[in-house]
Amino acid sequence: MEVHLLAGTRPEAVKLAPLVGALTARGLQPVLVASGQHPTMVQQALAAFDLAPDETLRIDRGTGRQTELLAALAPALDALWCRRRPSAVVVQGDTTTTLAGALTAFWGGIPVVHLEAGLRSHDLTAPFPEEGNRRMVGQVAALHLPPTEAARCNLAAEGRTGPNVIVTGNTAVDAVLAVAARDLPIAEPGLAGLLRQVHTGRSRLLLVTVHRRESWGEPLNRVLRAVRTLVLRHTDVEVVLPVHPNPAVRGQVRDVLDGVPRIRVTEPLPYPDLVAAMAVSTLVLSDSGGIQEEAPSFAVPVLVLREVTERMEAVHAGCALLLGTDTDRIVDTASALLADPAARAAMMAAGNPFGDGSAAVRAAEAIAWLLGTRKRRPADLLRAGCAAPEGSRGAAGAPVTVVTA
């Protein structure tokens, strides 16, 4: 049985990669499909796992708008699945590729598996358009694989309950641990030397990533001013900031940070380079969802540069602080943590709430059960019950305990 794994962006590729071996071990044939949304970055991400796409779609992108991308993806996917019909299609997260894949598979009568289901900010405007995308995918999925108990509770609040909702943990943890263990060479020029400098204790590293559309414009300027202030205030701090490819974003970064010492603005980093930088950082400042899941595996606190987050598990566990984009708040919080190693250590006391590195195994077991090659439904995470939908602005909650299925 072929199971198609659909990836259009680097995070999708990273989180789907651990499924390849897990599905193969269970007698299923994984087929990696690159949608063409970000083709180069998907290939680079898969290469970190010694993988490559089995099928690559060719789509034309002129305006870069979401409508254009969706209109191109649906017929391309439909043609692929008429030529090579899978037993199931796995979509990950909340991108336009995810939405297009889920709709096209559903229209074709192919079971849709939603990896990383149930994340909710409960605000359709943030993150945009991701919150709307993942809600729509939840309407057509045949199998929901929420990463945490909180995500399962979100699905339950929307009426999605029963045996086809299985908590797995997040495959981001599987992926980041696997790549870190390989200790791959650094590709970004000059980065290896900087990381050696950090290893020896001569400098401290702040990894900064900002790419959310809702942050473009003045919110991004506030973040960049905070980064500039932190570097000027703390003379042993180095910053690595992989810049978004959008020309307007690049212009903002250049206007605020050009000429500031000890700030290294790079192209989007290859995944192994990003992992290596993350692993030795003192703090990570990011609006990325994936980094909120990955950094706790290295006991690195995350300052979340967003007004809302759909990953409140990290906030509840203490390993992330939801700061928004206020310049003074970012500077004051980061400075306090830079000055207090005990406070940083206390943030990481509960470990990573997103899993133990076995999410891909649980997901593959669930897919095998869906397709009838495994008779018993696999076990999921321990459940504490759902008192209310998971909030995005600091509602009370507790870390999720992970058990092996």
Task: State residue 64's pLDDT score.
Answer: 79
For residue 5, is pLDDT > 80?
Answer: yes
For 285, the enclosing helix (H) or strand (E) is strand 283-286
Instruction: For residues 305 and 285, give the distance between their C-alpha atoms in angstroms, rounded to a whole number.
Output: 7
Q: Residues 222-243: what's their mean pLDDT?
A: 96
User: Quick one: average pLDDT of 129-151?
Assistant: 96
Residue 393 has pLDDT above 50, yes or no: no
Name the helix (H) or strand (E) containing 188: none
Give which of 394, 356, 311, 384 is closest to 149, Cα–Cα: 384
Which of 28, 32, 27 has the alpha carbon at shortest distance from 13?
32
Residues 319 and 364 in one domain: no
Separation between Cα atoms, residue 382 and residue 378, nearest integer Å: 12
Q: Is 382 part of any domain? A: no
Give Cα 36 to chain centroid, integer Å.
19
Look at residue 397 and tell me whether its pLDDT is greater than 90: no
Tell me what pLDDT residue 381 has. Answer: 63
Same domain, yes or no: 335 and 364: no
User: Are residues 262 and 130 both part of a single domain?
Assistant: no
What is the model's pLDDT at position 127? 87
Q: Measured between alpha carbons, how far is 179 from 287 in angstroms, rounded to an integer?
A: 22
User: Would you say residue 390 has pLDDT above 60?
Assistant: no
Mean pLDDT of the chain: 91
Residue 400 located in a structural domain: no
Query: Does 14 reside within a domain?
Result: yes
Name the residue among 313, 307, 304, 323 with its Cα closest to residue 396.
313
- Catalytic pick from 4, 26, 38, 94? 94
212 and 165 within one domain: no
Of 247-256, 299-308, 340-349, the one with minimum mean pLDDT is 247-256
What per-residue confidence (pLDDT) applies to 379?
82
Position 384 pLDDT exceeds 60? no
Q: Would you say residue 287 lies in a domain? A: yes
Which CATH number goes with the domain that contains 66?
Answer: 3.40.50.2000
Exactly one of 10, 12, 26, 130 is catalytic; name it.
130
- Which of 122, 135, 204, 213 is the catalytic position? 213
The whole-number pLDDT of residue 246 equals 77
111/308 Cα distance (integer angstroms): 32
Which residues on adjacent β-strands are paired with residue 112? Answer: 89
Are residue 44 and residue 111 in the same domain, yes or no?
yes
Mean pLDDT of 134-141: 98
- Residue 42 sits in the same domain as residue 94: yes
Cα-Cα-Cα-Cα dihedral sign, residues 243, 246, 250, 256? negative
Q: Is 258 a catalytic residue?
A: no
Burial of 200 (0-12, 13-18, 19+ CB in 10 A): exposed
What is the rounded CA–CA span in Å between residue 337 and residue 345? 10
Q: Are residues 275 and 320 in the same domain?
A: yes
Is 379 inside a domain boundary?
no
Domain total of the chain: 2
CA dihedral 304, 324, 126, 118 (to 10 degrees): 40
Alpha carbons 181 and 118: distance in angstroms, whole number: 29
Of 7-16, 105-114, 332-341, 371-380, the poorest mean pLDDT is in: 371-380
Asked if residue 206 and residue 147 are part of one domain, the reply reads: no
Tokens 């297009």 belong to residue: 100
244 is catalytic: yes
114 and 239 share one domain? no
Residues 384, 389, 392, 394, CA torsion sign: negative
Confidence at residue 335, expressed as pLDDT on a 0 to 100 scale = 98
213 classed as catalytic: yes
Structural domain boundaries, residue 216: 188-347
Cα 268 to Cα 108, 187, 207, 312: the distances in Å are 35, 12, 12, 26
Let me know how long the chain is: 405
Verify that 362 and 341 share a domain, yes or no: no
Cα R_g (the chain), whole angstroms: 20
Over residues 20-41, mean pLDDT:
96
More confident site: 394 or 13: 13
In the chain, what is the straight-line distance between the N-terminal and C-terminal CA atoms, in Å? 23
Q: Is residue 163 part of a domain?
A: yes
pLDDT tens column, 266-294: 998 999 999 999 999 999 999 988 899 99
Which of 135, 211, 225, 262 is catalytic? The answer is: 211
385: in domain: no
Clarify whether residues 74 and 199 are in a common domain.
Answer: no
In a shared domain, residues 162 and 193: no
Q: What's the whole-number mean pLDDT along residues 40-49?
A: 94
175 belongs to a structural domain: no
Of 134-138, 184-188, 393-397, the range with the lowest mean pLDDT is: 393-397
**pLDDT tens digits for range 350-365:** 999 999 899 999 999 9
Q: Which of 134, 152, 212, 244 is catalytic?
A: 244
2 in active site: no
